[in-house]
Amino acid sequence: MRILIINGPNINLVGSRETHIYGNMDYNKICDLLYERAKDLGVSLDIVQSNIEGEIINFVHNARDKYDGIIINPAAYTHYSIAIYDALKAVLVPAVEVHLSNIHAREDFRKRSVTAGACIGQISGFGYYGYILAMQALIHKVQDGLK
């Protein structure tokens, strides 16, 4: 099974920005832990990050016919990117939306996700472990034939 993790704007600064919200674990360390866990789960994993909406859309488009699942943390684009929503709907690759913080316990504008409606589920508030939960969920969904 092949999974693509797509991280949006400012995720590359995790570990140094707003550590009271996102924790102090460095982004590269999180990626290393996710690669290790994917290996344990028997999953081929790629991780990409961009601060640019169009690049995120291209990552989604390029996942078509290449990946069995997408895990996406659209970050701030979560709240207004219809373009990312449309891309996720168009590629027909099951996706799970992940957020490091609990977006429902934060500012009002963060409680609404435009992109979650294009995903099979959303996980928020568990830090980097949310990505692991998403990998496990995608494995089970794909094995059950529920694309």
What CATH number is given to the structural domain containing 107? 3.40.50.9100
pLDDT digits (tens, 9 = 90+) for 36-78: 999 999 999 999 999 999 999 999 999 999 999 999 999 999 9
Mean pLDDT of the chain: 91
- List the domain range (segments joined by +) for residue 51: 2-143
The closest alpha carbon to 122, from 98, 143, 87, 94, belongs to 98
Helix axis angle for 27-41 and 129-143, nearest 10°, is 30
Active-site residue numbers? 22, 99
The DSSP symbol for 47 reads: E
Considering its fold, how many domains does the chain have in total?
Answer: 1
Per-position pLDDT tens, the chain of length 147: 999 999 999 999 897 766 676 677 899 999 999 999 999 999 999 999 999 999 999 999 999 999 999 999 999 999 999 999 999 999 999 999 999 877 776 667 666 789 999 999 999 999 999 999 999 999 999 888 864
Sheet holding 95-99, edge to edge: 44-49, 2-7, 69-73, 95-99, 121-124
